[in-house]
């Protein structure tokens, strides 16, 4: 699991800090929750609240990522943000009426409902403590 983090551009407002890349392998929703818990134990005291993000948080990350990519292109710079191409990211949001389903967000910020046993991508988020 990556230990480096990226603070989103709205970090002053949201105080969110993200893993620098999705976890290496896709996993089911329950395993994604367990991986976030495991990440808590592996990191320093500054990053102890790792968890799956909400739908709104993932969409915010994607929107910021797109703006940074556009800015880099306009300036003729290399884009060094998240590579979310083809990613379907788990959120912590379950479907209230269907406990076996949860929301995912694709690379464009579109939300879908899928079975929690399906394998999807995971990016953990934490609250900045500094």
CATH code for the part of the protein at 5-127: 3.10.100
74-98 pLDDT, tens digit per residue, is 988 887 777 788 899 999 999 999 9
- Report whether 94 contacts 101 (CB < 8 A): yes
Indicate the domain borders of the chain: 5-127
Q: How far apart are CA 62 and CA 68, in angstroms?
A: 10
User: Is the pLDDT reported for residue 12 higher than 80?
Assistant: no
- pLDDT given at position 2: 40
Percent of the chain with pLDDT over 90: 38
Percent of the chain with pLDDT over 70: 82
Q: In sequence order, what are the residues at sequence separation of 6 or more whose Cβ sits closer than 8 angstroms to the Cβ of residue 25?
A: none
Q: How far apart are CA 2 and CA 60, in angstroms?
A: 21
pTM of the model: 0.81
């Amino acid at each position: 699991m990556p230990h480096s983090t990226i603070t989103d551009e709205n970090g002053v407002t949201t105080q969110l800090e993200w893993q620098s890349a999705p976890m290496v392998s896709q996993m089911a929703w329950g395993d994604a929750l367990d991986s976030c818990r495991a990440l808590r134990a592996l990191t320093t005291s500054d990053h102890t609240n790792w968890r799956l993000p909400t739908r709104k948080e993932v969409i915010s990350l994607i929107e910021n990522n797109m703006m940074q990519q556009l800015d880099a292109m306009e300036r003729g710079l290399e884009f060094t943000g998240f590579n979310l191409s083809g990613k379907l990211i788990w959120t912590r949001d379950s479907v209230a009426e269907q406990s076996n389903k949860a929301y995912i967000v694709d690379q464009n910020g579109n939300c879908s409902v899928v079975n929690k046993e399906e394998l999807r991508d995971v990016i953990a988020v934490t609250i900045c403590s500094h």
